[in-house]
Structure 1
């Protein structure tokens, strides 16, 4: 699906009141096409609808005209430059950014992360560094949530298996 098609579908989702679907669609688009500033801008707009200034600031961070309050909220939530770099979800070198403003902002974040790490930070491997910067508690929270979801799925499957066994026994009797 093209970027334009995905944006059009997200717009249709928003008009139909399916904001969570539009949000998911736009997040997927930004993940697939991180250099598309239109997709990032639209994702920021949807987060504004949700009243999430930090997320709106995150996705509008590379824009020529960004809201200073949203930018401050994003920078406060991701105060650590390594985590901020990972949160921007950029891939590749800054020179691939479509505008001079975006290139300058990406370079600024990468330079701050490099200074913190004491070595050059790279966009393609910063997520691992960000996990370490977030500390063990953040890693444990991510793992706990995953394990809780996995356990819930396991209980659901167990319940379905028991229900199937009971139904089969009733049919046989």
Structure 2
């Protein structure tokens, strides 16, 4: 279904008071185009209408009209705010100055290009050199219990 048709259904859902269905439709549009700030603003308005300030803050984070209460609720509900914004490591175009400053203030994970990825060293497994007597005894007891269990199962079948 084309975006204008889905948005028309969203409007119809909201007129009937079906906010949950409208939010689902908007979520599917945002999944297809995560950088459409208009869609994010509309979804924030739906959540604002239902009193869900955490989600209103989440989806309104990149807009200029999000309230401080919504931003606080979003920060309280999501420990990893950058991940919750569903940006896939990219910055949306056309951010307003307040939204751009908010996004820049979030801690960003380091982004590596394929050439910059640190090489992972793979070392051969080395058993611990200083095995204590208690560990040896525990290992032997474990093997004895396993052997007794196997013998018991074999006798059970015979």
TM over 0.5: yes
Counterparts of 1:133-144 in structure 2 under 5 Å? none
Q: Segments of 4+ in structure 1 off by > 6 A?
A: none
Matching residue of 2:58: 58
TM-score in terms of structure 2 length: 0.62
How far the C-alpha of 1:51 sits from its partner, in A, is 1.1
State the TM-score, normalizing by the size of structure 1.
0.57
- Higher CA-based Rg: 2
Between the two proteins, the alignment pairs up a number of residues equal to 111
State how 1:115-134 maps to structure 2 within 5 Å.
120=110
Q: Deviations over 1:117-160 (max 9, x none)?
A: xxx058xxxxxxxxxxxxxxxxxxxxxxxxxxxxxxxxxxxxxx
Q: CA deviation at 1:66?
A: 1.5
CA distance in 1, matches of 2:102, 2:34: 14
**Cα deviation 1:27-73 (Å, max 9, x = unaligned):** 11111111111110110111112211011000000012221110111
Higher helix share: 1
Over the aligned positions, Cα root-mean-square deviation in angstroms equals 2.0
Contact 1:97–1:103, Cα closer than 8 Å, also in 2: no
Superposition deviation, residue 6 in structure 1: 2.1
Distance 1:45 1:37 in 2: 12
Unaligned runs of 5+ in 1: 115-119, 123-173
Aligned partners of 2:102 and 2:32: how far apart in 1?
Answer: 20
Quote the residue 2:120 is aligned against.
none
Measured in 2, the distance between the counterparts of 1:25 and 1:76 equals 26
